[in-house]
Structure 1
Amino acid sequence: MAHSLRVSDGFLQQLDLVLKDDHSLPMDLHAELKSCFTGTKPTPTIPFTLLRKLHIFLETKGFPVYLHELLEGAEIFTPEVKLPERNPQLVARLDKIKAKMANEEYRRITRNVNCQQINRYGTIGDVGKQVRSAKAVVVTIFNFLVTVVAAFACAYLGSQYLFTEPAACVLSGLIVASVVGLAELYVLVRTMEGELGEM
């Protein structure tokens, strides 16, 4: 906060010119003004309290020169505020609290994010289920084909003992393979109905 004025070098000379008459400055006021202008300061500064005393003195003695005329060209002096050094323990504690709050904020933001999510349609676990169901379908189709082919081969080879013509053997193999295939399809449909009913 500003508590003094930075005045020009001619302030004291103008003040001396004003006070040249028989009105002399009181000793304490003169000493205070002198102390403001002596020293190693690059530009002299005068506190507001001293300016108030000077103003009261000029008014009581009836000087025709006003204080603002003397202070022409002066500027408010605001000293640089020196902040005290922060306690290193306090700084470390604040850093720890900031890190903790940042982690909590991160957890709050990412609490509904699933790192296993592959896309908006499902997760990696869903892909595993789909692969298992596709594997089951492939095994079922392979099992169906092997069963039908094996039934045809058995019927064809077994009918060679009964029939001498190859056409009769093929026809008996086809009939047996068709019956076995239809039975496999029936069992497959019943199984799929049961799985769909459980879903």
Structure 2
Amino acid sequence: MASSMRVGERLVRAAVSGSRELGQLPRELRAELEAALAAPADGRGPLVAFALLRKLQGALRQAGSPLYLHELLEGSEIYLPAVEKPPRNPELVARLEKIKAKLANEEYKRITRNINCQELSQYGTLADLGRQVRSMKAVVITIFNFIVTVVAAFACTYLGSQYIFTETAAHVLSAVIVASVVGLAELYVMVQTMEGELGEL
């Protein structure tokens, strides 16, 4: 809180030169004022306490001086000392840090309470994805096996029919018939397998 003023040149000149307005002041007040103005502050101008300025105003009124205090204080400014913060208690700082960490942890838990690490999306968990990948792998292998079996049946029948038939059309026709029969049998087995897997799901 401000308790003094950094006085300007006007009051310093009036006090030092011994102007007739300030010459009417009581000797004790004048000595006190000169001592306050003579004391160096911080190189920016002397500091005068408010109490001394009140005494000066009262003395000027009693003396009937035409000089007012605000005229003497022209160019002056209120001095606000720098506020020194007291050192913080280390025990209090430690407790505050603990409380901050606890609050941050509670906030994190509140934010993440409805998050499940196992969830992949709204459609299922990672375990469901693994089952679906295994099922898809089985389907791909089954389809590949079906194609290889039908092609192999066609090739074997085509090559084997050369010993029975001499015409190319007979070779192709017999190979297509055997491949179709093998394909239908393989398809039947594949459908039965797929129904069993879908029943397990």
Q: What's the TM-score, normalizing by structure 1?
A: 0.64
Give ranges in structure 1 of 5+ residues lacking alignment: none
Q: Give the whole-Å Cα distance in 2 for the aligned partners of 1:70 and 1:171.
A: 128
Tell me which residue corresponds to 2:65: 63
Q: How does 1:141-180 map to 2 (within 5 A)?
A: 141-145=143-147, 165=164, 178-180=180-182
The answer to whether the Cα contact below 8 Å between 2:16 and 2:34 also exists between their aligned partners in 1 is no
Tell me which residue corresponds to 1:19: 22
CA change 1:152–1:85 in 2 (3 A) is same
Q: Aligned partner of 2:191: which letter?
A: V
CA drift at 1:60:
2.3
Q: Give the whole-Å Cα distance in 2 for the aligned partners of 1:15 and 1:77.
A: 25
The answer to whether the Cα contact below 8 Å between 2:25 and 2:63 also exists between their aligned partners in 1 is no
CA change 1:141–1:33 in 2 (3 A) is same
CA change 1:192–1:30 in 2 (3 A) is same
Q: Give the whole-Å Cα distance in 2 for the aligned partners of 1:133 and 1:15.
A: 109
CA drift at 1:114:
7.4
Q: Give the whole-Å Cα distance in 2 for the aligned partners of 1:70 and 1:142.
A: 107
Q: How does 1:1-199 map to 2 (within 5 A)?
A: 1-7=1-7, 8=9, 9-13=12-16, 16-20=19-23, 23-25=24-26, 27=28, 29-41=29-41, 42=43, 43-105=45-107, 128-145=130-147, 165=164, 178-193=180-195, 195=197
* SS of the residue 1:5 aligns to: strand
CA drift at 1:55:
1.0
The answer to whether the Cα contact below 8 Å between 1:36 and 1:45 also exists between their aligned partners in 2 is yes
Q: Give the whole-Å Cα distance in 2 for the aligned partners of 1:75 and 1:173.
A: 114
* SS of the residue 2:75 aligns to: coil
**Once superposed, what is the RMSD of the aligned Cα atoms?**
4.6
Q: Give the whole-Å Cα distance in 2 for the aligned partners of 1:35 and 1:92.
A: 49
State the identity as a percent.
Answer: 59
CA drift at 1:59:
1.3
The answer to whether the Cα contact below 8 Å between 1:14 and 1:70 also exists between their aligned partners in 2 is no
CA drift at 1:101:
4.2
* SS of the residue 1:72 aligns to: coil
Q: Give the whole-Å Cα distance in 1 for the aligned partners of 2:79 and 2:157.
A: 116
Q: Give the whole-Å Cα distance in 2 for the aligned partners of 1:52 and 1:134.
A: 97
CA change 1:108–1:120 in 2 (3 A) is same
Q: Give the whole-Å Cα distance in 2 for the aligned partners of 1:81 and 1:32.
A: 27
Give ranges in structure 2 of 5+ residues lacking alignment: none
Q: Aligned partner of 1:134: which letter?
A: M
Q: Give the whole-Å Cα distance in 1 for the aligned partners of 2:80 and 2:18.
A: 24
